[in-house]
Amino acid sequence: MTKTARASENLLAMNEALILGSLRQHELTDAADALNVQLQREITQRKQLETTLRESEQRYRVLFELGPLAVYSCDVAGNIQNFNRRSAELWGREPVLGDIDERFCGSFKLFRPDGSFLPHEQCPMAEVLSGKIPEARDVEALIERPDGSRIFVVANIRPLKNQRGEITGAINCFYDITERKEAEQRQQLLTDELAHRSKNLLAVIQAVASRSLSGTRSLAEAREVLSQRIHALARSQSALAAEGFRGAQVAEIIRLEFEGFSGRVTASGPDVILHPRLAQTFTLVIHELATNASKYGALSLADGAVVIVWSIEGEHGAARFRFQWQECGGPPVVPPTRQGFGRILLERAAAQDFGTSPNINFAPEGLVYEIDAPLSAVEVAGGGIRAKSGNGKVNRVAGIVK
């Protein structure tokens, strides 16, 4: 072959190679382009997923933080992984994440509802993590905070599991039910109190009935006397109800007794709230004095009158309650000879319940009945509204001043 022919062949071969190479390059470029488009699509998809995930996570995070529920989670070993603001509020503290001495619960101390101590290692979270219980549903517990205060909570715990069904951790949602518990306790106290008062009142009626029906009265007269005394007791209940049963106002007891009466009785004195125990006795005493006054005393005559005055003398521990019933304008006073229930009420009942014997003076001008007792023995704690010095607001019992 000549040199020229060989050179020509070489040129042709190189040309072919170039063309093939160029074709190949186009293929590769096309392939690269296609891959590029695919990649772009995948990247966009991935970015969208990430955005969706981030938004979703953000939503849950906001829910987690702002929700009224306290939420926290632990890993299978019991290490607290995260907790929301509400948990920290209820615990009264923030546990140190990853601290192995602070496992299962972020509270300072835990107690069972009956008050017995519950170590963190035995709490419901620990039991769910160990598989001892499958879950905790509406479990009650007492959380003690670092400042010593305690709150009642209800907890719900669910385990977290991996694809093989093994427990990897757990989430606890709990909330404060202290107010509900306190309401339940108040309710129980009220019920107990109510039962106590009813039985007590019946015991008093039993005593009054027994004494009113014994003695030398005719049955008809006894029945009338008993009926009147029971009504007096009913009035003492009204006076007690007016103060929410914590006690009864002296003024109210007197006002109720004389509601049916027409004038000639004046009464005045400061706010004094008698202890419920004394309220009943005092009502019966006032009723007895009023009944006697209308039968034999000042109120049995048109010109007769009764003046009732009470006051508080002295201050604080030395304060005394002074009460006086004074009759005038009635028939000449004759001391009673009979030691009936009425006299037992006026003398012994008052003496025992007020702590000091009353002074009964059968003065010829009119009966005088006086009580002088320490205020602390007579009035409920918290008592009536009075100015610091003096007697403050004075009650003039309305409707019976003439």
Partner 1 sequence: MIFAGRRVLVVEDEFLVSLTTIEFLECAGCEVVGPATTVAMAMQFVETEFLDAAVLDINISGDTIWPVAEALRRKGVPCLFLSAYSPLSEIPELFKVAPRLEKPLEQKSLLCHLSAIWGAECEPVSP
Measure the CA–CA gap between 85 and 376, rounded to whole angstroms: 49
Q: Is 379 in the site for partner 1 (CB under 8 A)?
A: no
Pattern of binders to partner 1 over 343-372, x per CB under 8 A? -x---xx--xx-------------------
Q: Is 239 in the site for partner 1 (CB under 8 A)?
A: no
Q: Which is closer to partner 1, CB of 173 or CB of 225?
A: 225
Q: Is 203 in the site for partner 1 (CB under 8 A)?
A: yes
Q: For residue 66, what are the CA distances in angstroms to 46, 58, 249, 254?
A: 30, 12, 51, 59
347 within 8 A of 358, measured Cβ to Cβ: yes
Q: Is 208 in the site for partner 1 (CB under 8 A)?
A: yes
Pick from 76, 88, 154, 204 the residue near partner 1 by CB under 8 A: 204
Shortest approach of partner 1 to residue 204 CB, angstroms?
5
Shortest approach of partner 1 to residue 101 CB, angstroms?
38
DSSP element (H, E) containing 142: strand 136-144
Measure the CA–CA gap between 199 and 379, rounded to whole angstroms: 23
Pick from 183, 202, 241, 301 the residue near partner 1 by CB under 8 A: 202
Kindly indicate which of the ranges 58-66, 128-136, 189-197, 391-399 contains the residues binding partner 1, using the contact rule CB under 8 A: 189-197
Shortest approach of partner 1 to residue 357 CB, angstroms?
13
Six token digits for residue 90:
């209820």
Count other C-beta atoms under 10 Å from residue 105's C-beta.
Answer: 28
Shortest approach of partner 1 to residue 195 CB, angstroms?
4
Where are the strands (E) in 238-331, listed by range?
248-249, 265-270, 273-274, 305-313, 320-328
Count other C-beta atoms under 10 Å from residue 299's C-beta.
Answer: 25
Kindly indicate which of the ranges 37-45, 63-71, 171-179, 341-349 contains the residues binding partner 1, using the contact rule CB under 8 A: 341-349
Cα R_g (the chain), whole angstroms: 45
Residues at the interface with partner 1 (CB under 8 A): 192, 195-200, 202-208, 210-211, 277, 280-281, 284, 344, 348-349, 352-353
